[in-house]
Amino acid sequence: MNRLTTYLVLLPTTGERKKLRKILAGVFSGLFLVLALTICSGGCQGEPPRSAEKPKVAATIFPLYDIVRNIAGDKMEVVLILPPGASPHTIELTPQHVRRLENSRLVFRIGHGLDDWTGRFTEFLEDGKAVIVDEGVELVSAGEEQHGQEDGHAHNGVNPHYWLSVKNAQIIADHVLEKLIEVDAQNEQTYRNQAALYKDRLQHLELELKQQLEPFQGEELITFHDSWVYYAREFDLVIVGNIEPFPGRQPTPRYLASLQEQIRRYDIRVLFSEPQLSSESVEAFVADLGLELYVLDPIGGVAGRESYIDLMKYNTNTIVEALSHGRE
């Protein structure tokens, strides 16, 4: 068989060619359908379009962060700047702090010298702004509630620890609510509902703490530094001295002599330290005078104090225990 004969034998017949065309037409039709479905699944009737990312806001310290997240709920991303366990008075800023704030629309802060370090990195916020939450709060001048002890401590004229009043926490919540609505008006009613529920919990907390502390009204306290002025005013306690003249600054012998005089004058038997600041410099002083040292926490965010409400309950329980012990 010559080469031409071979080719002719291999060529399909007319009937076979018709069958082949039908097969190929079916294959191409199938491929076209698969391609069309694949393209359509991406935009025609497959997955819904991705929703816009949640607005992002930040808060400088844990108590403020917790208030914000209770109102924001799941409608916003809320980030905390100051790590739990750290002190706002001694924080050292790092690039991580700046990255944490990226794309934040608002940075809620206390102000008055406590977290002024936010000014060093809020300039990196493209569309965000810093908001001090003291609007409507009756601020106390630094040293205003100090009774008798010589004190060189000042927070630029205003004591900034106003969040340690439950009544002030409710005022802060109102201010936060309005700012969140400015950022995300679409979810206004959700924010208002969540704020109302949270404020109701705060009102119950205020009543509960007042009942706990009622037997100790008028009792004198010496705290680690002047964090507790607003708390003492709200619950009818009296701050007569501070262990440190300024957070992180060791007391001088002269200062300790003044403190010892206050301890004797008011028959103080317990002192209060804070977990964010070292108390090593006064432990010998406390031991020499036969005093007990209890821990009050103005910041929280750690185990057992994982909400603002839990934090305030912890501090009140600690004060009640300490003052009860002091009466024995």
Domain range annotation of the chain:
56-205, 208-326
Say if 56-205 and 208-326 have the same CATH topology.
yes
What confidence score (pLDDT) does residue 4 get? 35
Chain segment 12-50, per-residue pLDDT in tens: 454 554 454 554 445 444 444 444 444 344 444 443 443
The per-residue pLDDT for 122 is 65
Mind listing the pLDDT tens digit for each residue in 115-148?
Answer: 888 776 666 666 668 899 999 999 999 866 554 4
Query: Cα(116)–Cα(147) distance, rounded to whole angstroms?
Result: 28
Percent above pLDDT 70 for the chain: 75
* CA distance readout (Å), 221 to 160, 217, 233: 19, 11, 12
CA-closest candidate to residue 227, choices 327, 311, 326:
311
Q: Lowest-confidence range among 14-18, 193-197, 278-282?
A: 14-18
Cα 70 from Cα 63, distance rounded (Å): 11
Q: What is the mean pLDDT of the chain?
A: 82
Residue 213 scores a pLDDT above 60: yes
Rounded average pLDDT over 73-102: 83
Q: Which residue has the higher pLDDT, 64 or 277?
A: 64
Grouping H, G, I as helix, E, B as strand and the rest as coil, residue 220 is: strand
Residues 45-81: pLDDT tens digits?
443 443 468 999 999 999 999 999 999 999 999 999 9
Is 208-326 CATH 1.10.1060.10?
A: no
Report the pLDDT value the prediction gives residue 308, as an integer from 0 to 100: 98
What pLDDT score was predicted for residue 142?
83
| CATH superfamily to which 56-205 belongs | Nitrogenase molybdenum iron protein domain (3.40.50.1980)
